[in-house]
């Protein structure tokens, strides 16, 4: 732990004082009254400031992430929780430069295209050849020498699967077309892990136009590195059982990540302060995960580090990832534990829908380990009210403090707090 920086942050937090309560209390417990829009906004503003001071990002392995970890560690320590930091080994990806031209027109990075994390380096040019979704090796069967495969986004596979198929077919690069035109750019993304040697880029279908030839270059570097999970636990409570909650702390490298996932981070900080260090039953343990945006690396490392007895102690895991979308649809995880879904709906008053989230966030590793999971979610690139995206700034540089629905975030944070307190009481 960086004791000097932590001490400075703690002093500043003490000077700020705790959250004040407001009227309009919760239906289940007074603890959530301590959660206010002003208090949650304080956390969002701190993360925004950290990103602004560190090149506009809080991605894993960057100074912005390290400052974010220091901040949440200080906040949880100030709330009276016991804080530890777990090293997470990973491969750090750095994009040095990239360019893409289609039909002789040079495209703009972030606006028109993105290089996926863990892309290979290289240069390529040639005619474009559509390969459908690119999820099967057979999709690339008709690819000729010198042609650049153009795959559609989506399908029942990952970017890494499409890239591996392109590489095996002898392609010098892979372009993936992003078809959603209502976004304010092309979102950052990842191949999930290293191993692909060819350049892999995602581009907007709007930028594709009628172009039939493309030229590109990618210069990227990778190195072994270490990031960290921040884990906080109540000193009080029955240690026979643990109720966990978590959310990822990192942003994508292309933006500050305030909705995704500063809102989840603010929710956890607010719940820790509202519940305090002595829950009514089981201990509470909150996790701020590293490198979720690179492939759930922090939560994967944590779950792998647990022995069988430790896994059995965890009676529930709730995940909070994107809980203040600007065009929100509040939901629980439909493919999670029904018991935990009921607990969340009771805490909210029964007004939550359901979303099938699959393995899209950190709960997936707990679920695979046999631990009951659920969570709250308000949307990313899905269609929301009015036919508009729930979050038009998803994985983009515009995911700033202005990209958050404050009333929705307050509702989700209070729901999370009530549910966690109730689950603790039930698991005495």
Please check whether residue 172 is in contact with residue 386, taking contact to mean a CB–CB distance below 8 angstroms.
no
Residue 284 in this model has a pLDDT that exceeds 70: yes
Neighbours of 39 (CB within 10 A): 22
Query: What are 393-428's pLDDT values in tens digits?
Result: 999 999 999 999 999 999 999 999 999 999 999 987
- Whether the ω angle into residue 261 lies within 30 degrees of 0, i.e. cis, is yes
C-alpha distance from residue 107 to each of 103, 113, 427 (Å): 10, 7, 55
C-alpha distance from residue 85 to each of 249, 362, 419 (Å): 13, 17, 26
Lowest-pLDDT range, 73-77, 155-159, 244-248? 155-159
The percent of residues above 70 in pLDDT, for the chain, comes to 91
For residues 27, 30, 34, 36, the Cα torsion angle rounded to the nearest 10 degrees is 10
Catalytic residue, candidates 292, 293, 310, 382: 292
Q: Are residues 65 and 36 in the same domain?
A: yes
Give the CATH number of the domain where residue 54 resides: 3.40.630.10
Residue 274 lies in a domain: yes
pLDDT interval class at 11 (50, 70, 90): very low
Q: Are residues 188 and 217 in the same domain?
A: yes
Q: Is 293 a catalytic residue?
A: no
Q: Which of 367, 81, 377 is nearest to 231 (CA)?
A: 81
Q: Are residues 371 and 402 in the same domain?
A: yes
235 three-state secondary structure: coil
Q: What DSSP designation does 419 have?
A: H
Angstrom distance (rounded) from CA 34 to CA 238:
24
What is the secondary structure of 328-363 as a DSSP string?
---EEETTS-HHHHHHHHHHHTS--EEE--TTSSTH
Query: What are 178-237's pLDDT values in tens digits?
Result: 876 667 889 999 999 999 999 999 999 998 887 799 999 999 999 999 999 999 999 999
More confident residue, 180 or 58: 58
Q: Are residues 265 and 333 in the same domain?
A: yes
Residue 15 in this model has a pLDDT that exceeds 60: no
pTM: predicted TM-score of the whole model, two decimal places: 0.91
Domain that holds residue 340: 3-14+27-81+234-426
φ and ψ of 45, to 5 deg: -65, -35
Give the CATH number of the domain where residue 129 resides: 3.50.30.30
Q: Are residues 172 and 108 in the same domain?
A: yes
Residue 86 lies in a domain: no
Q: Are residues 322 and 386 in the same domain?
A: yes
Angstrom distance (rounded) from CA 108 to CA 263:
29
Q: Are residues 134 and 101 in the same domain?
A: yes
Residue 396 lies in a domain: yes
Q: Are residues 123 and 164 in the same domain?
A: yes
Please check whether residue 126 is in contact with residue 147, taking contact to mean a CB–CB distance below 8 angstroms.
yes
Total structural domains within the chain: 2
Q: Are residues 353 and 302 in the same domain?
A: yes
């Amino acid at each position: 732990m960086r004791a000097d920086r932590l001490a400075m942050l703690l002093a500043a937090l003490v000077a700020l004082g705790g959250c004040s309560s407001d009227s309009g209390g919760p239906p289940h417990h007074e603890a959530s009254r301590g959660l206010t829009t002003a208090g949650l906004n304080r956390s969002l503003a701190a993360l925004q400031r950290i990103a602004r001071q560190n090149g506009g990002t809080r991605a894993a392995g960057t100074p912005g992430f390290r400052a974010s970890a220091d901040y949440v560690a200080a906040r949880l320590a100030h709330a009276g929780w016991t804080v530890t930091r777990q090293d997470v080994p990973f491969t750090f990806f750095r994009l040095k430069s990239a360019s893409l031209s289609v039909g002789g027109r040079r495209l703009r990075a972030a606006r028109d295209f993105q290089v996926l994390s863990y892309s290979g380096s290289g240069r390529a040019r040639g005619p474009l050849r559509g390969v459908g979704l690119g999820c099967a090796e057979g999709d690339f069967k008709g690819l000729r020498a010198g042609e650049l495969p153009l795959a559609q986004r989506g399908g029942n596979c990952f970017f890494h699967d499409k890239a591996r198929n392109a590489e095996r077919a002898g392609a010098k690069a892979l372009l993936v077309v992003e078809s959603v035109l209502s976004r304010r750019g092309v979102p950052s993304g990842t191949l999930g892990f290293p191993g692909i040697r060819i350049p892999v880029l995602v581009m907007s279908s709007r930028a594709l136009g009628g172009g039939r030839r493309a030229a590109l270059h990618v210069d990227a570097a990778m190195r072994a590195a270490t990031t960290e999970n921040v884990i906080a636990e109540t000193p009080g409570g029955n240690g026979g059982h643990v109720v966990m909650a978590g959310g990822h702390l990192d942003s994508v490298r292309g933006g500050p990540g305030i909705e995704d996932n500063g809102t989840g981070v603010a929710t956890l900080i607010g719940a820790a302060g509202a519940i305090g260090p002595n829950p009514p039953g089981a201990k509470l343990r909150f996790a701020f995960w590293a490198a979720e945006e690179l492939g759930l690396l922090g939560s994967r490392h944590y779950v792998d580090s647990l022995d069988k007895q430790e896994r059995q102690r965890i009676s529930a895991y709730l995940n909070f990832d994107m809980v203040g979308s600007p065009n929100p649809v509040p939901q629980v995880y439909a493919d999670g534990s029904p018991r935990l879904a009921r607990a969340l709906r009771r805490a909210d008053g029964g007004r939550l829908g359901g979303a099938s989230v699959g393995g899209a966030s950190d709960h997936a590793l707990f679920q695979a380990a046999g631990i009951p999971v659920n969570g709250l979610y308000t949307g990313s690139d899905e269609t929301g009210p009015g036919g508009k995206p729930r979050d038009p700034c998803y994985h983009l540089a515009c995911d700033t403090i202005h990209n958050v629905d404050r009333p929705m975030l307050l509702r989700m944070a209070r729901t999370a707090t009530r549910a966690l307190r109730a689950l603790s009481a039930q698991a005495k």
